[in-house]
Amino acid sequence: MSDFLAAVGLVFVIEGFLWAAMPRSMKRMMLEVATIPGTSLRIGGVVAMVIGVLIVWLIRH
């Protein structure tokens, strides 16, 4: 459970850094994402999850 909470904390750190470092670019990105079809976002999310699981699996083994 502590690894999970550390991962969630790291997500917050990365998100916060991006918004602090380049707020205009992040706003533009959010507007662009709003125009992408939901199916494409879902596929991208699944791909990101698979890559994340592979990275964690490689690190842990």
Q: CA–CA separation, 11 vs 8, rounded Å? A: 5
The conformation of residue 13, written as its DSSP 8-state character, comes to H
Residue owning tokens 């998100």: 15
Query: CB of 28 within 8 A of CB of 20?
Result: no
Mean pLDDT of 9-23: 96
Query: CB of 26 within 8 A of CB of 19?
Result: yes
Dihedral, 48, 37, 39, 26 alpha carbons, nearest 10: 20
3 versus 25: which is more confidently predicted? Answer: 25
pLDDT for 60 equals 87
